[in-house]
Amino acid sequence: MPRRYVAVCGASEATPSQLDAAREVGRLLAQGGAVVITGGFGGVMAAASEGAARGGGTVVGILPDSDRAGVNNHITIAIATGLGQARNAVIVTAADSVIAIGHGWGTLSEISLAMRLERPVFALDSWDVNGLEVVKTPAEAVRRALAAN
């Protein structure tokens, strides 16, 4: 079976419980053999990256700027796009499925783009959007993201 690519999208300013959930999601994705895709910086992105890196996984950061300055320390591969917020489209397009954690505006944009691209999105303590699949735990989010078509 080919490796799964799962984007973990979330607020750069997240609550402690959202950060804990993101770390656990990253760790479980790494254990499941998935490549984790994030926006490469802080908050949920850094926590998911940390969890995945500590779990021995590969973490790809899709960056908005034209350089790699400021990327979090847990990124395996940093891709500078120079696209600004439009890089959100690259993040979700590169993913087989998406886990959204938190309520940032960028997170909402990633949810919308993923839904338009028919990527499965699993919301964990995130936006209440009609048609969005809500999950209760990091384990459920990862199980469903890895099994999604």
Q: Using the structure block, give the residue that is written with the tokens 């979700």.
A: 92
Report which DSSP code applies to 2.
P
Please tell me the predicted confidence (pLDDT) of residue 2.
Answer: 78
Q: Of 126, 116, 122, give the one whose Cα is nearest residue 44.
A: 126
Q: Tokens for 8? A: 């973990």
Across the chain, mean pLDDT equals 96
For the chain, which residues score pLDDT lower than 50?
A: none
Phi-psi sector, 84: left (phi>0), alpha (psi -120 to 50), beta: left
Please tell me the predicted confidence (pLDDT) of residue 107.
Answer: 97
User: Architecture of 5-109+116-142 per CATH?
Assistant: 3-Layer(aba) Sandwich (3.40)
Domain ranges of the chain: 5-109+116-142
Burial class (CB in 10 A: 0-12, 13-18, 19+), 32: middle
Please tell me the predicted confidence (pLDDT) of residue 1.
Answer: 58
Please tell me the predicted confidence (pLDDT) of residue 128.
Answer: 87
Please tell me the predicted confidence (pLDDT) of residue 53.
Answer: 98
